[in-house]
Amino acid sequence: MDESPLLEVQELGYSYGTRAACAGITFDLYPGEVLAVVGESGSGKTTLLRCISGQLRPDEGRVLFQTRAGEIADVWAVSEASRRLLTRTDWGFVHQNPRDGLRTDVSAGANIGERLMAIGARRYGNIRQEATAWMYKVELDAARIDDSPQAFSGGMQQRLQISRNLVSQPRLAFMDEPTAGLDVSVQARLLDLLRGLTSDLGLSAVIVTHDLAVARLLAHRTLVMQAGRMVEAGLTDQVLDDPQHAYTQLLVSSALPA
């Protein structure tokens, strides 16, 4: 690929006291690419995601992001104001629990419109139009635009959360176990939707998951973590079909056959 990477993570490390949650993590993410981070619970996946998404300052290493203007921003060296602007505009963050990422006391339309208003949209009609369009894109019934997210099912809430993040047309989305806690049929539908959205919008994504099926379906590349370290990385099919590291082999063999 001759393009320069969208996101570069260099020798990233974070410790909780003396316990290293992740160490020496290095990878590049190219525009339009989806990267899955897999590993068992406690392997440092979520800490890694929080460090690269501007929520948790890493102890060591750098996170470089290529902004829309084509400049390379060191996520943890730029001012807090620009970092926060980045998280509101160029990035999206999908939480595992949709209630963490939604305002449950305002309507679905207000949830989708929030980012637009945060970056200066001041015409109600346009915001509403955009919200309606996004409800359609994530397969929500646009007639429910004024309903509270609390009246939505878990799968609908998750789709609402995704649309709320994508409305500002971010170029990079971070997703923390986006399908965990949903039943299998809803998971399948959501995965299908995510796959469609990432390919249609040319969106790059870092998806943390412990579900190898999610990685296989969505991710171009997969990074396997164990005890805070990257043990294997490569094309998803390669990693999952021909695992080299003993831990990856264990992980792949312990997945139930579909």
Partner 1 sequence: MAATETVEGYNFAYLDEHTKRMIRRAILKAIAIPGYQVPFGSREMPLPYGWGTGGIQVTAAVIGPDDVLKVIDQGSDDTTNAVNIRRFFARTTGVKTTERTLEATIIQTRHRIPETPLRDGQILVYQVPIPEMLRWLEPREAETRKMHALSEYGAMHVKLYEDIARHGYIAATYDYPVIVNERYLMRPSPIPKFDNPKMHMNPALQLFGAGREKRIYAVPPYTAVRSLDFEDHPFETQHWDHACELCGAADSFLDEVIMDDRGTRMFVCSDSEYCLSRREKQQPAVA
Q: Which residues bind partner 1 (CB under 8 A)?
A: 80-81, 84, 103, 106-107, 109-110, 113-114, 117-120, 122-125, 127-128, 145-146
| Contact residues for 243 (Cβ-Cβ < 8 A; gap 6+) | 232, 249, 251, 252
Residue 61 or residue 109: which is nearer to partner 1 going by CB? 109
In the numeric block, which tokens belong to residue 17?
Answer: 């006291």
Give the nearest distance from C-beta 253 to partner 1 in angstroms.
Answer: 45
Q: Contact 127/135 with Cβ under 8 angstroms?
A: no
The CA-atom distances, in angstroms, between 145 and each of 39, 116, 120, 134, 165 are 37, 16, 21, 10, 16
Give the nearest distance from C-beta 113 to partner 1 in angstroms.
Answer: 6
Residue 70 or residue 125: which is nearer to partner 1 going by CB? 125
In the numeric block, which tokens belong to residue 204?
Answer: 């790059």
Give the nearest distance from C-beta 102 to partner 1 in angstroms.
Answer: 12
In the numeric block, which tokens belong to residue 209?
Answer: 């998951």
Give the nearest distance from C-beta 108 to partner 1 in angstroms.
Answer: 10
Q: Which of 168, 164, 171 is nearest to 34 (CA)?
A: 171
Orientation of helix 108-118 relative to helix 80-89, angle to 10°: 140
49: helix, coil or strand? Answer: helix
Residue 17 or residue 125: which is nearer to partner 1 going by CB? 125
Looking at residue 220, the DSSP 8-state letter turns out to be S
Residue 114 or residue 176: which is nearer to partner 1 going by CB? 114
Give the nearest distance from C-beta 19 to partner 1 in angstroms.
Answer: 26
E-assigned strand segments in 135-217 = 172-176, 204-209
Residues 237, 143: Cα–Cα separation, whole Å: 40
Residues 225, 39: Cα–Cα separation, whole Å: 5
Give the nearest distance from C-beta 122 to partner 1 in angstroms.
Answer: 5
Q: What are phi and psi of 199, to 5 degrees?
A: -75, -35
Residue 26 or residue 107: which is nearer to partner 1 going by CB? 107
Residue 119 or residue 250: which is nearer to partner 1 going by CB? 119
Residue 68 or residue 84: which is nearer to partner 1 going by CB? 84
Give the nearest distance from C-beta 107 to partner 1 in angstroms.
Answer: 5
